[in-house]
């Protein structure tokens, strides 16, 4: 599943990453791969910002604003109805910012 394009907050700190692969193992949408002993985000738009990678990284090399991104907006729109809002006003259900 793809979410809204180019808006996810996931990031990798290359200096902290050891390439252990824990993030890749727990990612439910396979958005992370390990290449040349570093985690690489290979499908940014597939990230649902769940935070599994962050919670499982013993080195603090990943960051994501879990539960507040556009994935949350899409999920909320499915639960509450209507189209996802990504207007950053903070006033609407499903707002992603």
Encode pLDDT of 39-63 as tens digits: 999 998 888 888 899 999 999 999 9
Does residue 33 surpass a pLDDT of 90? yes
Is the distance from CB of 71 to CB of 3 less than 8 angstroms?
Answer: yes
pLDDT of residue 1: 63
- Check residue 73 and give left, alpha or beta (phi > 0: left; psi -120 to 50: alpha): alpha
Please, what CATH class does the domain formed by 11-66 belong to? alpha beta
Does residue 14 surpass a pLDDT of 90? yes
Tokens for 60, please give them: 């603090």
Q: How far from the centroid of its chain's Cα atoms is residue 12's Cα?
A: 11
- How sure is the predictor about 67, in pLDDT bands with cuts at 50, 70 and 90? low
Tokens for 73, please give them: 């907006």
Does residue 69 surpass a pLDDT of 70? no
Q: Give the C-alpha distances (Å, rounded to integers) separating 49 from 36, 37, 93.
A: 24, 23, 17
């Amino acid at each position: 599943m793809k979410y809204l394009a180019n808006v996810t907050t996931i990031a990798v700190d290359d200096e902290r990453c050891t390439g252990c692969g824990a993030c890749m193992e727990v990612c439910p949408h396979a958005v992370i791969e390990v290449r040349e002993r570093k985690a690489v985000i290979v499908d940014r738009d597939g990230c649902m910002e769940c935070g599994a990678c962050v919670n499982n990284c013993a080195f603090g090399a990943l960051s994501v604003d879990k539960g507040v991104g556009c994935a949350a907006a899409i999920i909320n729109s499915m639960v509450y109805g209507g189209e996802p809002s990504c207007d950053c006003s903070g006033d609407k259900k499903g707002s992603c910012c």
